Amino acid sequence: MKWPFENDSGAIVKKLSRRVLARDRKSAIFLVLTIAAAVAMVLGTSLVSAGLAEEAKDPYRTQAQVSVLAPTEDQLADLRAESTVDWVGEYSALGYSYQGGAELFVIYADADYLTKQAPLAYSGTLPQDADEVMLEQRYLEHEGLDARVGDTVTLDLTGLGETADYRLSAIAESAGNDRNAYSVYVSKALAQKVADETLGGHLQITAYTRLTTEDISADGLKSFAENIATPLGIDSRQLYLTDYFAAMNGVLGGGLQISLPLLVFVTGVLAAFIIYSIFYTLITKNVQTLGQLRTIGMTARQ
C-alpha cells in the first residue's frame, strides 16, 4: 500500500540501477561467462564420467552372460543347437605342473573361448590332437628354448614327474608378469588323458554361453538361461552369472570408480561457490551505491 505522502522513487531506483549496470558491464559479462563455464564444467564432467563408465564396459559387451558348470557332451551339443544361443566356449583348468623353476598351469580351452570370452593372440593353430600343446612365448624364453610352431617340446603335464614329447601347434603372445608362472593350452583329447591320470578321469568343463538377449539384469539373465537349460536336462544350480552382469551394471570396472551423482554434486557445489564469490565481490564493490538505492526505497529482494 502506498501512502499519499510517500514519494514514488521507482524511476530514480531504475535510473541508478542502470548506471550501476552500465558502469559494471565488464563485471556482468565476466559473471555471465563464469556461470556458463560452471554449467559447462558440470555437464562436461558428467559426460566424461559417463563416457569412462561406458568405456569400462567395452571388453565385456560381447562376452558370455552365463556359465554352465559340468555339462555333458550331449548337453554341450544341444546348447550349441539352440537358436537363442550365439556361441558356447569350453574351458577347464587341469591343475599345475612344475618344470624346473617354472610353474605351468594346464588349461583346456576351445576356439570360441579363446577368441570371444578371453581373447588370446597366438600364432599357429590351436591344439587338436592328443599330442599337441600351445605354450606362451614367455615360457619358451624363460627355458631358453628356440622352439617354433611345429617343433617338439618335452613337458610334464601331470605333475607326477613323467615327461612326454608334444608337438608345439601354436605359441601364445601373452603379457608378462613378475612370477615364473605360465599357461600351457592342451587339446580336449589331451585334457581327458591328463584327467585320467590326475583327476580320476573326471574332466570338468565350464561352458561359457552367449545368449541372444540384451537383458543385463541378474534375474532376467538367470531366467532366460533357465528357460533354455531346463529342457536340456541342465539343473539351475549349474548356471552361474559371469562378470558380464556386474560390468554392464557398473559394479565391475577398472580404475577409480566414482558415483556419477556424487561427482556432479561436488562439481555443482564448487561451481556455485565460484559464482557466489563473484556475486559477493560485485556487491561489496558497489556497497555505497546499493546503500543509496536502499535509502531511496529499493527493497532487499530488488
149 within 8 A of 135, measured Cβ to Cβ? no
pTM above 0.85, yes or no: no
Q: CB under 8 Å to 147, separation ≥6 — which residues?
A: 135, 140, 153, 168, 171
pLDDT score of 33: 81
Q: What are phi and psi of 186, to 5 degrees?
A: -120, 165
Cα gap 135→147, rounded to integer Å: 10
pLDDT score of 256: 47
> Which amino acid belongs to residue 254?
G
Question: What parts of the chain have a pLDDT lower than 50?
Answer: 5, 254-256
pLDDT score of 252: 65
Please report how the helices 260-285 and 25-57 are oriented relative to each other, as an axis angle in degrees rounded to 10. 170
Q: How confident is the model over 249-264, as pLDDT tens digits?
A: 877 654 445 566 776 7
pLDDT score of 228: 95
pLDDT score of 45: 77
pLDDT score of 258: 56
